[in-house]
């Protein structure tokens, strides 16, 4: 299949690599020209604009920061919809607003394009080994057409409903993850400051009712001294913000999500937007005056 890929960052690069390794022809574009180098080494072709990517492709995938970037890339004068042929498809794999992808689907469908959302979860390590979970919003026919391609990127490909349902699922997933992330970071600081060895705390909770992906993977990575999970604080803030907006749109009286949104926004606006989300664990531990070996430092 002739595949285009736009947005070659932490996630897009390994995802596009796996598309290429699965044997597809690949055209790529990113605002940062150098981001394409590892893909060109695998035989991908650089295209000068989203429009040029689309003109060379039967399906264009994107992995962009969020709704404003997706709208610009799709609807701009040199955008994807300016280059796609009738019957071709656009699949957004960014974490996006369900309302925005539904609007793009309406515009695209009217011009004869298929439009799907397929956001992913699992982070950079699972993007590298093609074991991501993919939440797809599409018609049955669209899902059947693109499931094999998406299976080159993720080992769990779920059809969640019509276009937009992929992002509804993804926003719920990420709100749950970041509520847990903040709780786990605070829990680590409390446990360590109150005298329990942090590694033992994490190991014991792995078999307890407080266990989670964050406890199993993020906190051990922090305790090993790793500095990042490959996910920027600004993107986490965007995700929880979009989830809280969705709660408002649906009339769900969410209370915990907005608190976590506020904490993330505060951290982002204090100059940490570009920092990896792991910086929040460092910040809480540091402000608690405890070191990661569990000794009280103040
Ligand atoms: P990133 O910032 O590393 O990559 C985004 C890429 O998009 C960058 O290379 C940037 O140059 C490019 N870009 C931005 N605007 C552009 C434009 N107008 N035209 C072309 N390229 C443009 O972000 P990421 O971590 O790879 O995340 C991408 C998406 O995947 C986001 O929506 C994020 O929420 C989601 N996501 C990230 C993770 C993760 O662990 N990093 C996990 C799941 C989902």
Look up 296 and say whether it is catalytic. Answer: no
Q: Which of 6, 7, 47, 60 best tests ligand 1's pocket when mutated (most atoms within 8 Å of CB)? A: 7
pLDDT at 294: 44
Q: What is the mean pLDDT of the chain?
A: 96
Shared domain for 28 and 134, answered yes or no, is yes
Would you say residue 297 lies in a domain? Answer: no
Task: Quote the CA–CA distance of 198 and 190 in Å, as a whole number.
Answer: 10
pLDDT value of residue 227: 85
Give a yes or no: residue 293 inside a domain.
Answer: no
Residues 200, 134 within the same domain: no
Residue 94 Cβ < 6 Å to ligand 1: yes
Which amino acid residue places its CA nearest to atom 43 of ligand 1?
Answer: 121
Q: What does DSSP assign to residue 83? A: H
**Does residue 56 sit within a domain?**
yes
Q: Is the CB of 12 under 6 A from ligand 1?
A: yes
Asked if residue 223 and residue 88 are part of one domain, the reply reads no
Domain count, the chain: 2
Which one from 2, 170, 238, 296 is the annotated catalytic residue? 170
Q: Do 117 and 192 belong together in one domain?
A: no
Identify the pLDDT of residue 291: 79
Domain ranges, residue 69: 2-162
Q: Quick one: 23 and 152 in the same domain?
A: yes
How far apart are alpha carbons 22 and 96 in whole angstroms? 26
Residue 95 CA, closest ligand 1 atom number: 32
Closest CA to 101 of 177, 170, 147, 3: 170
The DSSP string of 55-75 is: HT-SEEEE--SSHHHHHHHHH
Cβ-proximal residues to 105 (8 Å cutoff; 6+ apart), any chain: 115, 163, 164
Our answer on whether the CB atom of 228 is closer than 6 Å to any ligand 1 atom is no
- 3-class DSSP state of 140: helix
Atom of ligand 1 nearest to the CA of 11: 26
Q: Are 81 and 182 within one domain?
A: no
Decide if 296 is inside a domain.
no
Tell me, yes or no, whether 15 and 148 share the same domain: yes
Structure-block tokens of residue 101: 């992808």
**Same structural domain for residues 26 and 149?**
yes
Low-confidence ranges of the chain (pLDDT < 70): 293-298
The last residue of one of the domains, among 162, 178, 203, is: 162
Q: What residues does 133 pair with on adjacent strands? A: 121, 156
């Amino acid at each position: 299949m002739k595949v285009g890929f736009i947005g070659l960052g932490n996630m897009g690069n390994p995802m596009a690599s796996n598309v290429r390794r699965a044997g597809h022809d690949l055209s790529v574009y990113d605002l940062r020209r150098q981001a394409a180098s590892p893909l060109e080494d695998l035989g991908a072709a650089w295209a000068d604009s989203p429009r040029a990517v689309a003109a060379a492709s039967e399906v264009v995938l994107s992995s962009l920061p969020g709704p404003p970037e997706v709208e610009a890339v799709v609807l701009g004068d040199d955008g994807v919809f300016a280059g796609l042929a009738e019957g071709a498809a656009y699949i957004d794999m960014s974490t996006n607003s369900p309302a925005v992808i539904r609007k793009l689907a309406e515009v695209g469908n009217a011009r004869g394009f298929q439009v799907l959302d397929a956001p992913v979860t699992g982070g950079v390590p699972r993007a590298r080994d093609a074991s991501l979970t993919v939440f797809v919003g599409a018609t049955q026919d669209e899902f059947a057409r693109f499931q094999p391609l998406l299976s080159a990127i993720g080992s769990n490909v779920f059809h969640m409903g019509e276009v937009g349902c992929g992002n509804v699922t993804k926003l719920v997933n990420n709100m749950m993850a970041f509520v847990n992330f903040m709780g786990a970071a605070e829990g680590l600081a409390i446990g360590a400051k109150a005298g329990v060895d942090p590694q033992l705390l994490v190991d014991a909770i792995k078999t307890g009712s407080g266990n989670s992906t964050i406890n199993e993977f993020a906190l051990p990575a922090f305790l090993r001294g790793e500095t990042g999970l490959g996910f920027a604080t600004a993107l986490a803030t965007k995700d929880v913000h979009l989830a809280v907006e969705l709660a408002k749109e649906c009339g769900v009286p969410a209370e915990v999500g907005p608190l976590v949104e506020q904490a993330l926004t505060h951290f982002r606006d204090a100059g940490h937007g570009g920092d990896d989300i792991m910086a929040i664990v460092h910040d809480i531990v540091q402000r608690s005056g405890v070191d990661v070996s569990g000794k009280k430092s103040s």
